[in-house]
Amino acid sequence: MARDVTDTLFRGNRRLSGNFGKLWVNGALIFEISAFSAKVTADRDDVYIGADRDSKITGLTGEGSFTIKQVFTRGFNRLLENYKAGHDERFTMIGELADPDTVGGQHERVRLENVQINELDIMKFEKGAVIEKEISFRWTPSDTFFEDAIEIPEYAAPHDNF
């Protein structure tokens, strides 16, 4: 029995590893990053058609977080002082995933603009543990740009569906 091209093209080594993820904030590489997540949620209102409950998108919300293994204060003091002075500082974030085993050597790069930090972990520690701080943020989804995307090679794509 002959193997399909996708059987060998998408083996386990092709699954992406977070070990190759990077994050930049305002152009500065956050080398102590251990996790990053950004998602867009459709805000919906219920719409009733007869007895069926459907929905209508009324807006979009961009939310995410990143976790660092703390090495130094990393500008938290400046951000706190800006908050206390009434300034709502905004940032640009770029997340990249460049696993060398990606099909065709592709990588993914997403730029988020108008990023706002939601909360600051001022100090946190636990005896016997490496200090991790999770920083939550939000942004306007219209300010999301895929600079590079990992695409299915045309010869392996059976159809245009997910």
Position 7 pLDDT exceeds 90: no
Question: For residues 137 and 106, what is the distance between their CA atoms, to the nearest angstrom?
Answer: 28
Residue 43 is encoded by which pair of tokens? 């805000």
pLDDT, tens digit, 9 for 90 and up, residues 9-56: 666 677 776 778 899 999 999 989 999 999 999 999 999 999 999 999
pLDDT, tens digit, 9 for 90 and up, residues 110-125: 999 999 999 988 888 9
Q: Which residues have CB under 8 Å from 130's CB, separation 6+?
A: 69
